[in-house]
Amino acid sequence: MRRVLVLAAACGAAAVAAGAAGATNECRGLQVCVPVTGPWVVAPAGTEVSFDLACPPKFVVGGLDAELSRRGVDVTFRGALGSPVNPGITTSTSAVFLARLLTRAPAATFRPHIGCVPAAGRGQRFPTAYRPAGPAQPLVPTVVQLTVVPGTHRYVSHCPARKRLLGATHAIGFFTATPPSPATIASVAVAQSVRGGNVRVTVRALDGVAATVQLDLECA
């Protein structure tokens, strides 16, 4: 059995008691923590992929981790500027994982994990006498989740009203206990195009595959 590598990427937190996550560390050091596990997301060579993983209502992200199917997958997350680095300031109710494959080998996968803490305990920003124009909050993608069904299916998505499309990416995730095999990865193919502010996606999938396609639309 191929060993699953664990990549730690936990953000700071004020609690000191041990969390209840298993082999991963998204809840380590958090007294109250709800672990959330995503699917195995394909990280193709030469392309950065993003995947948004959300907390339950009234929770914010307090810790992060990821499992890798093999070495060579670089995984980070998108955080907001602010002080201190803390849940509710650096993170929000969801985390956007960014991954890319650093080798030329066939596609690998990663499985994102987040540890969610109650939103009532998050940090706050305090006003100052002088207010220069600081950097804006990071662009939060509009997430569209597509359930993969057998056959060929076409979808069209667009930004909410009064917003324009800056760009779009898609990610393929597999709901399997272990990293999907190359044959499983190849069983789902996605073609994406952008025209007139609309994102058009064609999904082709074989029968018997438990998978999802997530569209991340950058809207401003």
Which of 108, 76, 77 has the alpha carbon at shortest distance from 95? 77
Mean pLDDT of all residues belonging to the chain:
81
Which of 90, 121, 152 terminates a domain? The answer is: 121
Q: Do the domain assignments include residue 133?
A: no
Q: Interior CA angle at 75 toward 73 and 79, to 5°? A: 165
Which of 121, 152, 175 terminates a domain? The answer is: 121
Per-residue confidence at 194, pLDDT binned at 50, 70, 90?
Answer: very high
Q: How many domains does the chain have?
A: 2
Mean pLDDT, to the nearest integer, of 195-214? 93
Cβ pair 30, 63 in contact under 8 A: yes
Q: Do the domain assignments include residue 128?
A: no
Mean pLDDT, to the nearest integer, of 128-147? 63
How far, in Å, CA of 121 to CA of 117, rounded?
8
CA distance to 39, 108, 175, 199, 200, per residue, from 154 (Å): 22, 25, 22, 11, 7
In this predicted model, what pLDDT tens digit does every residue of 20-42 receive, in sequence order? 334 899 999 999 999 999 999 99
In this predicted model, what pLDDT tens digit does every residue of 75-123 receive, in sequence order? 999 888 878 878 888 888 899 999 988 887 778 999 999 999 998 754 4
Q: Do the domain assignments include residue 129?
A: no
Cβ pair 63, 115 in contact under 8 A: yes
Q: Do the domain assignments include residue 66?
A: yes
Residues 9 and 117 grouped into a single domain: yes
Burial class (CB in 10 A: 0-12, 13-18, 19+), 129: exposed
pTM across the whole model:
0.76
In this predicted model, what pLDDT tens digit does every residue of 54-85 receive, in sequence order? 999 999 999 999 999 988 889 999 888 878 87
Q: Do the domain assignments include residue 16?
A: yes
Least confident of 79-83, 123-127, 162-166: 123-127
Q: Which residues contact 151 (CB under 8 A, 6 or more apart)?
A: 204, 205
Residues 38 and 109 grouped into a single domain: yes
Q: Do the domain assignments include residue 132?
A: no
Percent of the chain with pLDDT over 90: 51
Which of 121, 153, 172 terminates a domain? The answer is: 121
Q: Do the domain assignments include residue 126?
A: no
Cis amide linkage into residue 56, ω under 30° from 0: no
Structural domain for 95, as ranges: 5-121
